[in-house]
Amino acid sequence: MNEHFIITLLLILSTAWAFSALLSRIGLPSILGGLVVGFILGPPLLNIIAPSPSLDFLAELGVFFVMYYIGLEMDPKELLGHLLPSVMVAVGGFVFSFALGFFAAKLMGATPFQSLFVGMILSVTAIAVQAAILQNMQIHKTVVGHVIIGAALFDDIISLICLSVLLGLAKGGEVHIAGIFFILTKVSVFFGFTILIGHFVIPHITKRLDDFEGKGFTFAIISALIMAYIAEQAGLHLIIGAFLAGQLVRKEIIDEKIFQVIKERFYGLSFGFLLPIFFTTLAFHVKLEWDFQSLIFTMSLILAAFIGKFVGCGLGAKMSGLGTIESLTIGIGMNGRGAVELVVIGIVIKLSGDLIAEGQILQPLLTENQISSLILMVFITTLISPVLLKWSLSKYPISR
């Protein structure tokens, strides 16, 4: 760790702390402090703080830690108890966002492939961002919180399948049913394995667990890393593995004192240190150099993204039997985006470059302007989601 990196960390954490405090005093979610810092001090405006592999690593570690912490906090029985609304919210939000994103891109002159990828990216909900926002609002243990997290999990699975279909079409012009079936099989085996481990293995380990020399925390890290690795092997993002690892370490099967120690350490490391870095680096991807047409396209994507999730998820929640206030809150809350979309954009950019180099396609799967618009859409929806969620909760409180 060199002197420059230490100064960068000091600058990020101190300014994020200051902005978070300021945002809290004016009634806005404090978690947005990191986004503001990244936007002002990062490449979008002043370029005082530059992206680096070290910052990217700490940002990803922050997402990893916060997902484990949210897994500890949320009751798996409550998540399973809200399975139907979670699925309906995920499907509704995905379909509406995909359709609106596709037509918005098509109307602005995008090719069919470009429109499909735009629609797919708009339909994703970032579970890590959602978890952080819900925790910050202190509604992660409510019915709304459980439905949003459950829906975000299913949304990631649907997105994985959709991405595999689109990548197959882009590569060879056809969909391989066997490939989709293989993905579904891997995901099913992963969740089945998680249930078996949680029921038969973890309780025997945690009964003998103590926190001498921080061994309880070490066990938590090991379990999270193992589950993250298995999730990656199943084709899912590592943060889903971290979340499920947290779900396995429940109060019922571990000493209360050790459980509290583990939870406090994960909370301090994630929300106090690593998460501000994650939100800061998220803002690094915003680019502000566009012509008028690109600006119109960006605004269209932001509207399509927000309306798609608000209407689709809200309708899904309402049709599953939830009340109007809960459904509207879920429609707003499902608009958080972030890491997953940026990962998908990166995959599409790489594939596009490879296919153009091989002469298989003449036009990129996403143009530079489209990529810039999508990144700004991610930033804006992540910015406004907690603001609108806080306003909604102040006007129409939900049961805790």
pTM: 0.73
* In a domain? residue 42: yes
pLDDT at 118: 92
> Whole-angstrom distance between the N-terminal and C-terminal Cα of the chain?
44
Its sign, for the CA torsion 73, 263, 64, 288, is positive
**Can you tell me the distance from the alpha carbon of 148 to that of 331, in angstroms, rounded to the nearest whole number?**
9
Q: How many CB atoms lie within 10 A of CB 51?
A: 15
pLDDT band at 68 (very low <50, low <70, confident <90, very high): confident
Q: Is the pLDDT of residue 252 over 60?
A: no
pLDDT band at 104 (very low <50, low <70, confident <90, very high): very high
The CATH number that applies at residue 73 is 1.20.1530.20
* In a domain? residue 149: yes
**What is the extent of the structural domain holding 375?**
3-395
* In a domain? residue 242: yes
Percent above pLDDT 90 for the chain: 18
Number of structural domains, the chain? Answer: 1
Q: How many CB atoms lie within 10 A of CB 209?
A: 20
**Averaged pLDDT score across all residues of the chain:** 82
What's the token pair of residue 288? 């502000």
Please name which of 154, 159, 186 lies closest in space to residue 341, comparing C-alpha atoms: 159
* In a domain? residue 313: yes
**Can you tell me the distance from the alpha carbon of 312 to that of 332, in angstroms, rounded to the nearest whole number?**
11
Residue 27: left (phi > 0), alpha (psi -120 to 50), or beta? left
pLDDT at 211: 62
**Can you tell me the distance from the alpha carbon of 121 to that of 159, in angstroms, rounded to the nearest whole number?**
8
77-81, 191-195, 221-225, 290-294: least confidently modelled range: 77-81
* In a domain? residue 60: yes
Distances from the Cα of 174 to the Cαs of 105, 138, 345, 377, in angstroms?
22, 46, 21, 30
- pLDDT tens-digit readout, 270-309: 888 988 898 888 788 777 766 788 889 999 999 999 999 9
* In a domain? residue 303: yes
pLDDT band at 20 (very low <50, low <70, confident <90, very high): confident
Q: Is the pLDDT of residue 215 over 80?
A: no
* In a domain? residue 400: no
- pLDDT tens-digit readout, 90-101: 999 999 999 999
